[in-house]
Chains A and B, each alone.
Chain A
Amino acid sequence: MSDGASETGRRSVGLTALSVLSVSGFLGIWFAVAQSGLLPKMVLPSPWDVVTAFQHSLYTPFAGATMSQHLVASLGRFLSGFLLAVALGVPTGLLMGWFAPFRYAIAPFFETFRFIAPLAWVPFAALWFGTGIGGPILIVFSGSFAAAVINTFQGARMTDPRLIEACRTLGASPWRLIIDVLLPSATPSIIAGVRIAAALGWQSLIGAELIVASSGVGYLIVQGQGSVETPIVMAGMATIGVVGLLIDWALRLVELSVTRNWRGA
């Protein structure tokens, strides 16, 4: 056992090293191309320019606010839209999975709406909410909602019917079945759906801020484009990527702590 563990340990160290190598290789090539002078600085800023722009943006307002203020504005909108999508999407998915009539009533709308890209909502978001917080929330919501519903729905349908029968013979009431059987068996899918919803919502938000906001990381990128400050544009892009990664990691930790004990199921 211990031999096997150290074997896989060694391998995972090797694979991690590979990730580090590929990232540094990427940065190295980027740096080399940017320094070579083949492309104007404006078209491809070097990694160093981006880091400098990022540092600078932490203290000096750009497009009306510092990077951290833009980020806080973005996160606030993201969380509002995302949490709303989860709060409505998870119960919708569960009801669709458990009650066929509800499924048939909801499915036509749902199946159609989920193909409408979040950005297609921009005109109405602007019309209904102006540049207030409502617009971005609507767009994040439209990005997150479908993923939350679909995954929850699939989880709700995945419960082993033998478990339900076994619990019925033990005297479980419908309420007990929901709490102790249906909900726990759907939980891994629900959390997976929440993770996907977070990723899609975060992506949609940035898109929304390009158009209907007066602050936020997406807004910063648009303003950077307007004034041809490409390093700050890239700093904004990198911030989006890293923050998205951190959000996913946080949800991954939640997932592990919930399902740790019954992964064998």
Chain B
Amino acid sequence: MSGIIFSEVTRTFKRDKGGDYVALQPISLQIPDGEFVAIVGPSGCGKTTLLRMVAGLDSPSSGALTVGGREVSGPGPDRAVVFQQFALLPWKTVRENIGFGLKCRGMRAAAIRPLVDHYLTMMQLEAHADAYPHQLSGGMQQRVAIARSFILEPSVLLMDEPFGALDAQTRIEMQEELVKLTKAKPRTVLFITHSVEEATYLADRVVVMAGRPGSILEIVDVASLRRSESWNDRAVEEVMELESFTRIRTRLWRLLRTVDRSADGRKTPQLSIAS
């Protein structure tokens, strides 16, 4: 079996005051190789926990999680993560940041350089190769973070609200960029977002999660429409005007609303674990 497979995965955190907090109820989900899956859901529904477990930064309390047929036991070269807050090394230049993962793998500087050059060009960062992260705009910093992940040629790309800290304009540009990148070299993507539009535009399937405790409410298929109406070849604004797009977006909105309402009804205390 390949791809990402969650079988009955749960995650429980110990509360400081004692007792347990169930972040994820048993989750089962299969993501085949090359699929782009977006996860939407209210804050605290455990979507970040889900992604962190695939990254190997957290582990299930029970159940099994495999990537490419192997049980996840820590970070690995087959998976790369793009964080909302970019997480670039402030004391390294753009070039050093992009090449860092290769350096960690013991590649020689002479071999790293041409690869970094390639990604600098692809991400339109040539002019900033020797700049430090704090000298760049948010959009450029996130392009560095994406380049840093792509250069490792991971088979699985994990993105945790990667465009959440960007302004609307830059965000749309980055979405188009990501579509181009994944079209050029298909890879499995797990993408967390708060934006229903973003999820609909990017994903083959959108997983809607409900919170407290986290569980999968519904999975909405977008792939067939995306293919038949060839969304990937169109501009964002054009796709967003399509009736099919609006229909899916509205459906997702409704689902999220029911989630919010049921959460209100249950009156569960707000906890800020794993937003």
Bound form: Cα–Cα A181–B90 in Å: 9
- Interface check B69, CB cutoff 8 A: no
Q: Does A261 contact B (CB under 8 A)?
A: yes
Of all chain A residues, the one with the shortest Cβ separation from B56 is A169
Q: How many residues of A contact B (CB 8 A)?
A: 23
Closest-CB distance, A33 to chain B (whole angstroms): 52
B118: interface (CB < 8 Å): no
Q: Least Cβ distance of B274 to chain A in Å?
A: 13
Number of A-B contacts (CB under 8 A): 66
In this complex, the interface size class of chain B, counting residues with CB under 8 Å from chain A, is: 20 to 34
B104 close to A173 (CB less than 8 A): yes
Interface string of A166-200 (1 = CB under 8 A from B): 11111111001000110011010000000000000
Closest CB in chain B relative to A102 CB, distance in Å? 24
Note all chain A residues with C-beta closer than 8 A to B135: 264
Cβ-defined contact, B104 with A176, below 8 A: yes
Task: Indicate which residue in A173, A176, A264 contacts B90 across the interface (CB closer than 8 Å).
Answer: A264
Q: Per-residue 0/1 for B125-152: is the Cβ within 8 Å of any A Cβ (1 yes, 0 no)?
A: 0000000111100000000000010001
Q: Which one of A166, A167, A170, A180 lies within 8 Å of B152 (CB-CB)?
A: A170
Q: Determine whether the beta carbon of B132 is less than 8 Å from that of A264.
A: yes
Contact B90 A169 (CB under 8 A): no
When distances are taken between beta carbons in the complex, the residues of chain B under 8 Å from A166 are: 81, 83, 87
Measured CA separation A176–B101 after assembly (Å): 11
Contacts of A27 in B (CB 8 A): none
B77-121 vs A, CB cutoff 8 Å, 1 = contact: the mask equals 101110101010111100000001101110000000000000000
Residue B55 CB within 8 A of the other chain: yes
B75 at the interface (CB under 8 A from A): yes
B89 touches A181 (CB 8 A): yes
Does A104 lie at the interface of the complex (its beta carbon under 8 Å from any beta carbon of B)? no
- For chain A, residues 245 to 262, give those with C-beta under 8 angstroms from any C-beta of chain B: 261-262
Convert B42-58 into 0s and 1s, putting 1 for each residue whose CB lies closer than 8 angstroms to a CB of A.
Answer: 00000000000001110
B104 A265 Cβ-Cβ under 8 A:
no
Of B57, B77, B91, the residue contacting A171 (CB under 8 A) is B77
> B134 CB to closest chain A CB, in angstroms?
3
Of B56, B91, B100, the most chain A CB neighbours within 10 A belong to: B91
Q: A162-B83, A170-B80 are in contact. Are A262 and B57 (CB under 8 A)?
A: no
Q: How far is the CB of A198 from chain B (nearest CB, A)?
A: 24
Q: Could you say which of B81, B89, B105, B134 contacts A169, with CB atoms under 8 Å apart? A: B81
Max chain B C-beta neighbours (<10 A), residue from A166, A184, A187, A262? A166
- Check A170/B134 contact, CB under 8 A, given A162-B87, A163-B89, A262-B91: no
In the complex, whether A165 has a CB less than 8 A from a CB of chain B is yes
Q: Which residues of A contact B77 (CB under 8 A)?
A: 171
Query: How far, in angstroms, from A264 to B132 measured CA to CA in the complex?
Result: 9
Q: Which residues of A contact B83 (CB under 8 A)?
A: 162, 166
A171 and B76 CA atoms in complex are apart in Å by 7
With the chains together, A235 CA to B15 CA distance in Å?
64
Chain B residues within CB distance 8 Å of chain A? 55-57, 75, 77, 79-81, 83, 85, 87, 89-92, 100-101, 103-105, 132-135, 148, 152
List 5 additional A-B contacts (Cβ < 8 Å) besides A160-B87, A162-B87, A181-B89: A165-B57, A169-B57, A169-B79, A261-B91, A264-B134
The chain A residues found within 8 Å of chain B, CB to CB, are 160, 162-163, 165-173, 176, 180-181, 184-185, 187, 261-265
| 16 sampled A-B residue pairs with Cβ under 8 A | A165-B81, A165-B87, A166-B81, A167-B100, A169-B56, A170-B152, A171-B101, A173-B104, A180-B92, A181-B89, A185-B91, A262-B91, A263-B134, A264-B132, A264-B134, A264-B135
9 tightest A-B contacts by CB? A264-B134, A265-B90, A166-B87, A170-B101, A171-B104, A262-B90, A184-B91, A169-B81, A169-B75
